Structure 1
């Protein structure tokens, strides 16, 4: 079964099989449970994040709940298949970051997770850190969630759409971003395995994910166009939003305006670019 196959919309009852157990990751043993056949970390903050994404999106964006679960579970399944990797990662950071990575998609009135000025990736990372801080203020554990762990979550979320950038960050950040990537319509990853794919899709259907995504990205181009002009979201604005125009706001337009201004201000200053023997190709 390929990613693009539409799985039957089965009831989620039975998707979570609570098998109290323990597993070792970075930081020692932690409780686990099984969801859609995948063993996952089961700490208080992870349980509360799960409750949050199940309740918060149920009225307007249920497809997002399923997406967030699939992101986490695909990543967890891949991590479980590599014992050395699993033992080296902070699985709580991976779980929390994976499930909070799209806070900036929110469409509720006066959302606490969306700004007019920043991209959804920036909003999502920023407000994921705030979500964790608010949770620790109520439940304790602020020392455990120090700035490094918070930034691992933030970077994993912030870089989710910047291809290749996750190669040079904390391993946990890398795996948050990679887990998001498992949702894209590519061939099934051998890191996950066909059985895990089928179990996860049956529990958390992807039957409306791309229609929900298309609405969400187009909607961002409507309500905060300036934050989309230099991002891939501009394509949704250009295709779907009447009157959307980023012609004067692309990075190319900004550089070209600077170029013309520079020539006008310094008409007598010549510019001669010396070309090295490699033809200025730094890869040769």
Structure 2
């Protein structure tokens, strides 16, 4: 059965979902694939971007296309996050040996998939955190992909957890290496330029190359503190999705921005 649909058909496919992180794109039962280890990194195709060696498999390329189509306002941001994450692995061989490169790439590129300020967006719910909406959409994208459909459940779950927890260090930093690394790929976007912030070995030259390839034109990241763009980004959720915002990291910033 052909599982890969054109990107233009993905909204219908991915919105047929429930709260379960592992909701499949099709209700037809199928035997779960064996719990095999992820592909050996040396066996995967690669490309070079901003001087960084990156995994380049069909599901990774299609995840990038999905991010560009459905979260264009944060496309440069998520691409930078993937590159920061790849640079972190370059500088940490121990972590790199434990991280599934496809899980890492898909998790970082799709972590803002449902971040649009539009309740009519195909991936945006009225009552869930955007991180959860993004995680659900990403999991269904994987399940509907011709290669992702063969992933064992634990690989899909790592993507789901990495996206859902990408702004929750109190949880993500105690999860599996894949989830830990997805968190840091996003965190380095904010931490690198902050006085005293973490850089995880990334050099000024490496940082400059990434910023040149994907300039900060989307109002987020690479700051020395919460930018006005970030505050207003969060404030929208406080106003239009308050049930998903009270008690979480964005609430205080949203109130600070004046949207209660």
Question: SS state of the match for residue 183, structure 1?
Answer: helix
Corresponding residue for residue 4 of structure 1: none
Distance 1:56 1:212, change over 3 A: farther
Provide the alpha-carbon RMSD of the alignment.
Answer: 2.1
Quote the offset at 1:227 in angstroms: 1.7
Corresponding residue for residue 123 of structure 1: 133
In 2: Cα distance, 1:99 partner to 1:236 partner: 24
Distance 1:50 1:162, change over 3 A: same
In 2: Cα distance, 1:50 partner to 1:192 partner: 23
Contact 2:237 2:245 survives alignment (8 Å): yes
- Cα deviation digits, residues 225-262 of structure 1 (max 9, x gap): 222122232224423455x2xxxxxxxxxxxxxxxxxx
Which consecutive segments of 4 or more residues in structure 1 shift more than 6 A? none
In 2: Cα distance, 1:125 partner to 1:141 partner: 15
Corresponding residue for residue 149 of structure 2: 142
TM-score w.r.t. the length of structure 1 is 0.68
Structure 1 unpaired stretches of 5+ = 1-24, 245-284
Corresponding residue for residue 187 of structure 2: 181
- Cα deviation digits, residues 32-62 of structure 1 (max 9, x gap): 001111110000011111122223333xx2x
Question: SS state of the match for residue 97, structure 1?
Answer: helix
Q: 1:88 aligns with which of 98, 116, 123?
A: 98
Distance 1:78 1:232, change over 3 A: closer
Contact 2:172 2:179 survives alignment (8 Å): yes
Quote the offset at 1:192 in angstroms: 2.0
Corresponding residue for residue 196 of structure 1: 206
In 1: Cα distance, 2:176 partner to 2:89 partner: 15
Q: Establish whether residue 234 from structure 1 lines up as the match of residue 248 from structure 2.
A: no
Computing the radius of gyration from Cα coordinates, the structure with the larger value is: 1
In 2: Cα distance, 1:133 partner to 1:94 partner: 16
Corresponding residue for residue 219 of structure 1: 236
Q: 1:166 aligns with which of 163, 166, 172?
A: 172
Distance 1:213 1:129, change over 3 A: same
Distance 1:88 1:228, change over 3 A: closer
Corresponding residue for residue 27 of structure 1: 39
Q: Establish whether residue 153 from structure 1 lines up as the match of residue 170 from structure 2.
A: no
In 1: Cα distance, 2:51 partner to 2:237 partner: 35
In 2: Cα distance, 1:92 partner to 1:140 partner: 11
Corresponding residue for residue 69 of structure 2: 55
Q: 1:77 aligns with which of 69, 82, 87?
A: 87
Quote the offset at 1:69 in angstroms: 0.5
Q: 2:53 aligns with which of 29, 35, 39?
A: 39
Contact 1:221 1:241 survives alignment (8 Å): no
In 1: Cα distance, 2:198 partner to 2:176 partner: 25
In 1: Cα distance, 2:39 partner to 2:97 partner: 9
Number of aligned pairs?
211
Contact 1:33 1:40 survives alignment (8 Å): yes
